[in-house]
Amino acid sequence: MTSDKIRNLSLFSKYKDIDDKIISEFISSVPESFSEAFQILSSFNKTVDDFDVLSNRVKIQKSITDFHHSADTITNEVNNGIKLLNLPDTQIFVTTHQPNLFAYSGVFRKIVLIQTLKNEIERQQKTKRHIVNVFIIIDHDFMNEIWIRRAQLPSIRHTKGILEIKLSINKSNKWNMVCKTPLPRREIMDYWKKQIKSWIKNLSTSPSLQSSKKDLFANFEELWMNIESSYSNSKTYSDFNSFLISQIVNKIWGYDVLFTRLSDISSVFETGYRHLIQNIDRYTDALRKAEISLSKHNVHFPGSLSKHNVHFPGIGSDSNNKSILWIHCKCGSKAAAKLYYSSDDQVQLAGVCISCKNNLRLHLGKKNELEGLKGNLDNVSPKAIPILLLLSKCLDSVCYASGSGGVDYMVFGSGTFKSLNIEKPVNIFWPGRDVYDGIGQIDALQRIELKSQSDIDVYLDSLREKEKELGEKIKPLLEERAVKIRSGQQIEKLLSDLFILKQEQRENRIIRKVTENVRSTINLTPCIIDYAVNFGIKNMELQWRENLIKKDNFTLALKLSMGGKYHC
C-alpha cells in the first residue's frame, strides 16, 4: 500500500501501518474519485449464467414491488428497473442502511453516488448497458441503535449546540427489532413538527435570512407532506423511516433505485447461508488472520461486532465477532447464534434471546445437506460482514456503496471473499463532508460574532491561550495572598487585582464554552431535515450530484449554497 494512497483516502488512515497484503489490496482497490470509479465499473461487461443468481433476482422482484406499492413509490422508472432484473446481462449496484429516523445526509449521498455512476455509465457507453441500483433496508437491527430513533439539527440555542428529535423507548423495548416496532403515536409526530417549525422560526430571525423565511417554511412543508405520506402508508416504525427515503429518492428526485427490506428477502440467501455454514472454518480463519494483523498495530475491531458477547465454538474468547447469523425470537427480538455439531454431523443454531432471555434453537440437518435450512429462512438474518458476502454470492452485485460507518467492517472482513471463493464487488465511499451556512450555522456564528466557519478553531485556540495566560497570572497572586494572610499583612489591593483577573477568567471560560458549542453546531452532520429546509429537497440533490462530478475527489469537502448555486 502506498503512502499516497493512504493520504488520499484519509478514511483508512488508521490502517496505514498495517502490514497485511489482503487489507492493503482492499484499501488500494477503493476508488478515490468519481472518474476512477466510473473507469473501473464501465469496464465491466459480463452476463450472469448462474441459475441460482438468476432465480434470486427474480425472487427479489416481488419484495421490491411489494415495498414500492406500500410506500406509494411505484413509478414508471421503478417499474422499468424491476423488469431489468429478469435480464442476465443486468448488473446490480447495491447500497444498504438501517431505517434511521430522518436519516442523515450520508444515506442520501450514497444513493446519489450510485445513481450518478449508473447514469454516466449508461450515457457514455456505446453499447446498451443494463444497470439497476438496489437499496436494501437493514430492518432487523435493534431499536437500541441510537440513530434509528434520533435525528439531529444544528442549534446553538440547545444543549451542546444540537437540537435532538428523538423517539423515546422503554427499556423493555430497546432490544426489539426495528421491523417489529409499531409506528410512533400521532402526538409524537405532531410534537416533532412543532419542534422543527419552532427551530426554523427562532433561527431565521437574522436580517440576512428574513427574505428567505417564507422559502424556508415552504421547503419544510414540502418535506412534511412526504413525511405524512410515509406515515399514513406505514404499519411499522421501520417502514415509516424507509418509506420517507423512497418518497424523496423515487418520487421527488425521479430515481429508479429499487428498495427492499432485508427481512423480505430471506429466501434469496439460502444458497449463501449454506455456503457460509458449510465453509465456516474458512470464514473464521480469514477473520482470525485479520484480527492478528490488526492487533499487532493496536487496531481493534468495530465495537458493535462483539458488543453482544457472541462466541463461536472452537475459536476462543477473543473471537466473539465471528458468528454469522441471528436467530429471531417470537418476542420481536433476536439471539446471536452459535453453531453446534452433533456426533452424527447434525447442525444446530442456538442462542439466548437478548430481550426475553428464552433459549432459541433451530435444527438445520446434516452439514453436507442442511435440509432444515429452507424451512428456517424467515427465522434468521445475517450479521454485518456476512451481508456483504451474501449480496455478492446470491445476487452477483458488482458495486457496493458504503458510508464511513462501514469501513471497519469491510476492512476486517476483506479476506473472507477470497477464502470463500466469492467475487468481491467494487467498494466505493464518499466521505467528503458538506460545508454550508444554513440557518443553524449562521445563528451559531453570529453568537460569537464570526463570519466564517474556518475562523472558529483559530478563535477557540486564542480563548484557550488567554485562559492559560490568566491562570499563570492568578497563580502567583494566590500564593502571595496566602503568605500575606499568614504574616498578617494587608491584602485589599491584592484581592482587588485577583477579583479583576478571576472575573476576566470566568468571562473567558463562558465564551470558550459557547464557542465549543458553536463548533459542535458547525461540525454536526445533521439529518436530512436541515438540508431540505435550507436548500429544498430537489436542489440538495442537484448540488450533491454536480459537486460529485466536478470536484472528482471523494474526500474533498463540498461547499453548498442556500442560494441554489453550488461551488466547486
Domain that holds residue 368: 325-382
Domain count, the chain: 2
For residues 475 and 117, give the distance between their C-alpha atoms in angstroms, rounded to a whole number.
62
The closest alpha carbon to 280, from 236, 308, 319, belongs to 319
Contact status, residue 339 vs residue 277, Cβ threshold 8 Å:
yes
Q: Minimal CA–CA distance to 44: which of 80, 106, 91?
A: 91
Q: What pLDDT is attached to residue 124?
A: 84
Distance of CA 215 to the CA centre of its chain: 29
Give domain status of residue 462, yes or no.
Answer: yes
Residue 341 lies in a domain: yes
- Judge whether 140 and 334 are in contact, CB under 8 Å: yes
Along the 568 residues of the chain, how does pLDDT read in single tens digits?
Answer: 444 444 345 778 888 778 888 888 898 899 999 999 999 999 888 888 899 999 999 999 999 999 999 999 999 999 999 999 999 999 999 999 999 999 999 999 999 999 999 999 988 876 677 999 999 999 999 999 999 999 999 999 998 999 999 999 998 899 999 999 999 999 999 999 999 999 999 887 766 665 578 889 999 999 999 999 999 999 999 999 999 999 999 999 999 999 999 999 999 999 999 999 999 999 999 999 888 888 887 776 554 333 333 222 222 333 334 679 999 999 999 999 999 988 888 999 999 999 999 999 999 999 899 999 999 999 999 999 999 999 999 999 999 999 888 888 888 899 999 999 999 999 999 998 999 999 999 999 998 988 888 899 999 999 999 999 999 999 988 988 988 888 888 888 888 989 999 999 999 999 999 999 999 999 999 999 999 999 999 999 999 999 999 999 998 888 898 754 333 3
Residue 558 CA to residue 438 CA, distance in Å, equals: 14
- Residue 425's CB is within 10 A of a number of other CB atoms, namely 21
CA distance 535 to 542: 10
Strand-strand pairing, 434-435 and 558-559: parallel
Is residue 498 one of the residues assigned to a domain?
A: yes
The length of the chain is 568
C-alpha cell at 245: 427515503
| CB-CB contact of 560 with 435 (8 Å) | yes
What's the sign of the alpha-carbon dihedral 20, 24, 25, 27? positive
Does residue 470 sit within a domain? Answer: yes
Q: What is the DSSP letter of 177?
A: B
Residue with cell 433496508: 137
| Final residue before a domain boundary, out of 382, 401, 424 | 382
Parallel, antiparallel, or unpaired: how do β-strands 131-137 and 91-97 relate?
parallel
Nearest to 531 by CA among 99, 109, 95: 109
Question: C-alpha distances in angstroms, 539 versus 58, 362, 535, 543, 549?
Answer: 35, 50, 6, 6, 16
Residue 75 counted as domain residue: no
Residue 560 forms part of a structural domain: no
> Is residue 54, in this structure, part of any structural domain at all?
no
d(CA 138, CA 143): 12
- Report yes or no on 510 lying in a domain: yes
HSE-up of residue 368 (Cα within 13 Å, Cβ side): 2
Enumerate helices (H) and strands (E) in the chain, giving the number of each.
20, 15
Which three three-digit cell numbers place residue 199?
A: 427551530
